[in-house]
Structure 1
Amino acid sequence: MIDVPVWAWVATIGLIIGLFVFDLVVAVRRPHAVGLREATFWSVFYIAVAVLFGLVVWAAAGSTGGTEYFSGWIVEKSLSVDNLFVFVIIMSRFAVPQEYQQKTLLFGIAAALILRAVLIAVGAAAINLFSFTFLIFGLVLIWTAVQLIRHRNEEPDVEDTFFVRRARKLFPVSDDFHGGRMLAHEDGRRVATPLLIVFIAIGSTDVLFALDSIPAVFGVTKDPFLVFTANAFALLGLRALYFLIEGLLERLVYLSIGLSIILAFIGVKLILHFLHEDVTKSIPEIPTPLSLGVIMVILLFTTAASLVRVHHHPEEKAHAGSLRKRRERPREEEPAAR
Structure 2
Amino acid sequence: MGTPIWLWLLFLGLVGVLLAFDLGVLNRKEHEIGVAESLKLSAFYITLGVLFGGFVWYQMGSQAAAEYMTAFVVEKTLAMDNVFVIALIFATLSIPRRYQHRVLFWGILGVILLRGLMIGLGATLVAEYGWILYIFAGFLILTGIKMLFVGDKEHDMADNPILKFLRRRMPLTDELHGHSFIVKQPDPKTGRIRRFATPLLLALVMIEIADVIFAVDSVPAVFAITTNPYIVYTSNIFAILGLRALFFALAAIIHRFEYLKQALAVLLIFIGSKVFLADLMGMEKFPPAISLGITFAILGAGVAYSLWRTKGQDAKELTGK
- Asked if TM exceeds 0.5, the reply is yes
SS in 2 for 1:189: strand
**Is the contact between residue 148 and residue 260 of structure 1 (CA under 8 Å) also seen in structure 2?**
yes
Distance 1:243 1:84 in 2: 9
2:197, 2:250 → 1: CA distance? Answer: 30
Does the 8 Å CA contact 2:92/2:157 hold for their aligned counterparts? no
- The yes-or-no answer on 1:155 pairing with 2:155 is yes
Name 1:304's counterpart in structure 2: 304
- Which residues of 2 match residues 58-77 of structure 1 at below 5 A? 58-77=57-76
| Aligned residue number for residue 288 of structure 2 | 288
Aligned-residue offset at 1:266: 0.7
CA distance in 2, matches of 1:283, 1:230: 24
Moved more, 187-196 or 219-228: 187-196
- Tell me, what secondary structure is at the counterpart of 2:252? coil
Query: Is the alpha carbon distance of 1:281 and 1:262 closer, same or farther for their aligned partners in structure 2, counting shifts above 3 Å?
Result: closer
Aligned residues: 310
Aligned to 2:189: none
Shift of 1:209: 0.7
* CA distance 1:139–1:105, change in 2 (3 Å): same
Distance across 2 between alignment mates of 1:159 and 1:18: 39
Q: Which moved more, 1:139-148 or 1:187-196?
A: 139-148
In the other structure, the counterpart of 2:13 is: 14
Whole-Å separation in 2 of the counterparts to 1:271 and 1:309: 34
What are the ranges of 5 or more consecutive residues in structure 2 without an aligned counterpart? 187-192
Amino acid at match of 1:300: G
Q: Give the structure 2 partner of residue 134 of structure 1.
A: 133
What letter is aligned with 1:160? N
Report the alpha carbon displacement of residue 107 of structure 1 after superposing the two structures with TM.
1.5
Letter in 2 for 1:308: W
Does residue 47 in structure 1 map to residue 52 in structure 2?
no
Task: Say if 2:145 and 2:265, in contact at 8 Å, map to a contact too.
Answer: yes
2 CA distance for matches of 1:262 and 1:142? 9
Return the letter of the residue paired with 2:20: V
**Structure 1 residue 147, shift from structure 2 partner:** 3.2
Q: CA deviation at 1:18?
A: 2.1
What is the CA-CA distance between 1:102 and the residue it aligns to? 0.3
- Offset from partner CA, 1:23-79 (integer Å, 9 cap, x none): 233465211111122112211111111111111111111111111111111111111
Matched with 2:270 is: 265
**1:155-304 matched pairs, under 5 angstroms:** 155=155, 157=157, 160=160, 162=162, 164=163, 167-187=166-186, 188-273=193-278, 276=279, 282=282, 286-304=286-304
In the TM superposition, residue 312 of structure 1 has moved relative to its aligned partner by 6.4
Describe the superposition over 1:128-153 as per-residue Cα deviations: whole angstroms up to 9, x where unpaired: 11121111101111222233332336
Matched letter for residue 208 of structure 1: I
- Work out the CA distance in 2 between the residues paired with 1:316 and 1:297: 30
Counterparts of 1:285 and 1:75, CA distance in 2: 18
CA distance in 2, matches of 1:139, 1:316: 42
Amino acid at match of 1:230: S
- Give the RMSD, CA atoms, in angstroms: 2.4
Q: Tell whether the 8 Å contact from 1:174 to 1:193 is kept in structure 2 after alignment.
A: yes
SS in 2 for 1:190: strand
Residue deviations 1:294-334 (CA, integer Å, cap 9, x gap) = 111111111111111112666999xxxxxxxxxxxxxxxxx
Q: Distance in 2 between matches of 1:66 and 1:227?
A: 12
Unaligned runs of 5+ in 1: 318-338
Q: TM-score, normalised by structure 2?
A: 0.89
Separation of aligned partners in 1, 2:24 and 2:146: 39
Q: 1:193 and 1:59, CA in 2 relative to 1: closer, same or farther beyond 3 A?
A: same
TM-aligned CA distance change 1:25 to 1:89, over 3 Å: same
Which amino acid in structure 2 is aligned with residue 288 of structure 1?
A: P
Structure 1 distance, partners of 2:165, 2:16, is 28
Counterpart contact for 2:88–2:157, Cα < 8 Å = no
Shift of residue 288 of structure 1?
Answer: 1.6
Go from structure 1 to structure 2 and tell me whether the alpha carbon gap of 1:231 and 1:22 turns closer, same or farther (over 3 Å shift).
same
Distance in 1 of aligned mates of 2:205 and 2:105? 12
Q: Deviations over 1:200-254 (max 9, x none)?
A: 1111101111111111111211110000000011111222110122222011110
